């Protein structure tokens, strides 16, 4: 069982009725995501409350949950209800979103003055300098456009996606194939009569050079490429 003093509330509403339990924050969220977590490592007590602050226990459990088994009811509350987040966990979420935003921007944006991407460290500094507020409840993808707008006050940024045709010689096509899906969206692929592979890929401008370097290391510099178009 979890230390009650470190537990948070997980709750669910059934009509006008509220049902609450005490749980470990991260353990409950892992359990909710389907990870292999024992309920004993999630629950602080095996009581179902109407109001934890007042110490009022819930009644009529079978009427609302179809069972009086408190562990089964606890599972329902954790999986279908709301789990209170600790300040520490919220901070952890913000840090994860920040790192993801830095990755998206460094890979998807370029400096329009040089055509090259900004180093991740520079983007991190700009986020601090611009005092960007990261929402722990939104995905990084949902926030990226707003963050880029704020960073443009400090950094010259251009979000650009390029459509690139790449040809790999037959001797290296097999090893190169898996690389494409790591770096972008494959729009078309065609095996030529000579065994070579031609792929049209949509890739963020900021990681185009990284993709070429990876492919050339596999194909010993025998990669042919052509930018078909680009869009912001």
User: How is domain 160-231 classified at the CATH fold level?
Assistant: Alpha-Beta Plaits (3.30.70)
Tokens of 196: 């070579």
For the chain, the domains span: 4-83, 87-158, 160-231
What is the CATH class of 87-158?
Answer: mainly alpha
For residues 228 and 212, the answer to whether their CB atoms sit within 8 Å is no
Cα gap 231→83, rounded to integer Å: 41
For residues 144 and 101, the answer to whether their CB atoms sit within 8 Å is yes
Backbone CA torsion sign across 22, 23, 29, 35:
negative
- The burial of 196, by beta-carbon neighbours within 10 Å (0-12 exposed, 13-18 middle, 19 or more buried), is given as middle
Q: What is the pLDDT of residue 141?
A: 74
Cα gap 99→117, rounded to integer Å: 16
Q: What is the pLDDT of residue 71?
A: 96
Q: What is the pLDDT of residue 48?
A: 97
| Residues 6 or more apart whose Cβ sits within 8 Å of residue 132 | 147, 150, 151
For residues 193 and 165, the answer to whether their CB atoms sit within 8 Å is no
For residues 118 and 157, the answer to whether their CB atoms sit within 8 Å is yes
Q: What is the pLDDT of residue 223?
A: 93
Instruction: Return the DSSP state at 116.
Output: B
Domains 87-158 and 160-231 share a fold: no
Tokens of 29: 């969220």
Instruction: Return the DSSP state at 17.
Output: E
Q: What is the pLDDT of residue 227?
A: 93
CATH placement of domain 4-83: 3.30.1250.10
Q: What is the pLDDT of residue 157?
A: 92
| Mean pLDDT, 10 residues at a time, the chain of 232 residues | 91 94 96 93 95 94 95 96 95 94 87 89 96 91 87 90 93 87 87 94 83 92 92 78
Predicted model pTM? 0.65
Sheet containing 161-168: order of strands: 185-191, 197-204, 161-168, 224-231
Q: What is the pLDDT of residue 91?
A: 95
């Amino acid at each position: 069982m979890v230390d009650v003093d470190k537990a948070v509330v997980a709750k669910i509403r059934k009509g006008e009725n509220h049902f609450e339990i005490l749980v470990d924050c991260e353990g409950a969220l892992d359990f909710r995501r389907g990870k292999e977590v024992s309920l004993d490592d999630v629950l602080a007590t095996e009581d179902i409350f109407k109001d934890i602050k007042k110490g009022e226990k819930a009644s009529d459990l079978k009427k609302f949950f179809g069972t009086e088994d408190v562990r089964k009811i606890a599972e329902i509350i954790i999986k279908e209800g709301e789990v209170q987040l600790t300040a520490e966990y919220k901070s952890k979420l913000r840090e994860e979103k920040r790192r993801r935003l830095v990755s998206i921007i460094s890979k998807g944006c370029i400096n329009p003055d040089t055509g090259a991407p900004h180093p991740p460290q520079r983007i991190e500094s700009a986020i601090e300098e611009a005092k960007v507020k990261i929402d722990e409840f939104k995905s990084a993808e949902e926030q990226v456009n707003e963050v880029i707008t704020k960073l443009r006050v400090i950094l010259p940024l251009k979000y650009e996606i390029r459509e690139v045709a790449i040809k790999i010689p037959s001797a290296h096509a097999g090893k190169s194939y898996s690389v494409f899906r790591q770096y972008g969206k494959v729009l078309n692929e065609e095996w030529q009569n000579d065994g070579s592979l031609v792929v049209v890929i949509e890739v963020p401008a900021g990681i185009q050079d990284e993709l070429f370097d990876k492919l050339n290391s596999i194909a010993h510099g025998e990669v042919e490429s052509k930018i078909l178009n680009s869009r912001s």
